[in-house]
Amino acid sequence: MRRFITYGPALVVLITATVTLLAAPAAIRRMQLANHVAQVALARERLDHDNLLAHINRATADVAEAVGPSVVHVEWRSGSDGREFRRGSSSGSGWVYNDAGYIVTNAHVIRGAESLAVQFFDGHVERAELVGLDPATDVAVIKVDPGAGVIPVRRATGHPPRQGDRAFAFGSPFGFKFSMSEGIVSGLGRTALGVTGQGGYTNFIQTDAAVNPGNSGGPLVDVYGRVIGMNTAIVTSDSPQARTDAKSQSAGIGFAIPLDTIESVVDQLIAGDVILRGFIGVRLRDITVSGDPSGFRGGAIYVEHVMPDQAAAKAGLRAEDIITHLDGERMLTNDVLRARVSAKRPGEVVMISVLRAGETLEIPVTIGAARMTARYNLLPVEPGEKPDQDPALAALERIGDVVARYGIADLVASDRGVKLSMVRPNSRAHEHGFRSDQIITHAGGRVVMTPTDVYEVIAMLEGSRVAVRVVDENGDSRVMHIDARSE
């Protein structure tokens, strides 16, 4: 019997499969596209109606609007009409402290200035007068005529920042006036060697908000638009710590002077008083505790000596006590403890936690007062006393002003000598070859390790050119001359 083989059904199946295979990707793509369209529409709807980022944007913009009108750009000026900026002038930032026209900035920004001009956010410029400055803490106060009114910035008095808090830095980085950057409080109680000035005060706030040359003196604020500190220095690839007016740019580590230090100094400068520091009368050193019967372990501060008749002795602190906390805040180094105490006002009571013979004690201490000497040591003063400034200190600060007018605006101690932390561009010092980050190892033939050492030599040779040996960043050494004569 003849058999007939038909290919029809198989061909139909093959064609159907082929069509399906060819059409399926397009269908899948259409389905995927429809899904993406739906997802985009849903995302846009959520962004339009419940957008957390928009809330954050609005809050950040509110911080800018709340703080910006209180930030100022500060520059030197020359000329009797006050319209021309001085060649080689320094510039920085500042912020309005109160409605009487007082403005706070860094001492190194305006030290040695012959005249000052302040530009406000709306572009208008006012002449400013120096009220006073404190090189030890790098805080200065200038004043403008409040005229039709100024807008003081809010301050976070009594609300210290915490690590991780969002922070905003304001100022004029690289001359871009009234700028704002954002970051967090990266750390507290930082010691920034080479930034602490002649008095050695530390306890800086560390932030990763962009801080660059020109930000010096600008406020660091919290999410409520309240000042928590003042920008003063940065860590750079060229220099472990540099003033924000030096040549380098930020590497993401900036330092700010905390508000409690600023307020304690500013109020005394405005009052015209000699600056008094909080003082308790102890000699301290850092230690690490382990195996204490109390169970405490870690960094702490050992009391080596207690001065008779001073605040610590009157409160009952003893030699060999171990200090762990101040007002509930952990104290890891004596530098930070000293800075915290110095920022307190005389008569204020603090609670100091100590370990003694295996027990933890809470000791209330009433803060005393001390003034600074020419060697930047603290000398106790009696309660309520209004002392005169140490004449030797006044003389050295006057020399510091002369050197600043020459163009070396800031000197700081380093382990190799005295670092030129800030040399103003196009100043006489700059024209004579001085540059930021150079190290002075000798002055007048003497080894120098502190700014006071340099100023003392210049004071002895005032009115002449002072020979100094300078080491540059490449390690090359040469003799140069600081011209301390009048222009």
Contact 203, 189 (CB under 8 A): yes
Chain mean position to CA 178 = 17
Query: Where are the strands (E) in 36-148, listed by range?
Result: 71-78, 84-85, 91-96, 102-106, 116-119, 125-134, 139-143
Helix (H) or strand (E) holding 204: strand 204-207
Contact 467, 458 (CB under 8 A): no
Helix (H, G, I), strand (E, B) or coil at 220: strand
Helix extents (H) in 279-361: 311-315, 334-342
Q: Which of 120, 105, 110 is nearest to 86 (CA)?
A: 110
Question: What residue type is assigned to position 320 of the chain?
Answer: E
Helix (H, G, I), strand (E, B) or coil at 415: coil
Q: Regarding beta strands 349-356 and 329-330, do their DSSP bridges make them parallel or antiparallel, or are they unpaired? A: unpaired
Q: Which of 126, 141, 114 is nearest to 272 (CA)?
A: 141
CA distance 36 to 18: 28
Give every CB contact of residue 173 below 8 A, 6+ residues apart in sequence: 179, 181, 210, 211, 212, 213, 214, 215
CA distance 269 to 90: 22
Q: Which of 150, 423, 136 is nearest to 274 (CA)?
A: 136
Structure tokens belonging to residue 191: 């010691």
Give every CB contact of residue 241 below 8 A, 6+ residues apart in sequence: 192, 193, 194, 195, 233, 234, 235, 255
Which amino acids are annotated catalytic?
108, 138, 216
Task: For residue 359, list its beta bridge partners.
Answer: 356
CA distance 74 to 172: 9
The HSE-up count of residue 363 (CA atoms within 13 Å, CB side) is 24
CA distance 101 to 428: 32
